[in-house]
Amino acid sequence: MSSRYEVVFTCFLRDDTPASVLAALRWHLGTARERPTELDGETHAYPLLEPDADSRLPGGDFASLTRQARFVTGEGKEHHAWGLFTRNYWLDDDMEELVTVLDLLAPHVEDPGYGGYFREEDEAEPTAFTFHDRTYGPLGG
The per-residue pLDDT for 139 is: 61
Amino acid identity, position 100 = T
The per-residue pLDDT for 89 is: 97
Residue-level length of the chain? 141
- Structure pTM? 0.93
Cite the beta strand spans of 23-133 per DSSP E. 62-72, 78-91, 113-120, 127-132
| Residues 100/43, Cβ–Cβ less than 8 Å | yes
Going from the first residue of the chain to its last (141 residues), give the mean pLDDT of each consecutive group of 10, the final group possibly shorter: 93 98 98 94 95 95 97 94 98 94 97 96 94 85 48
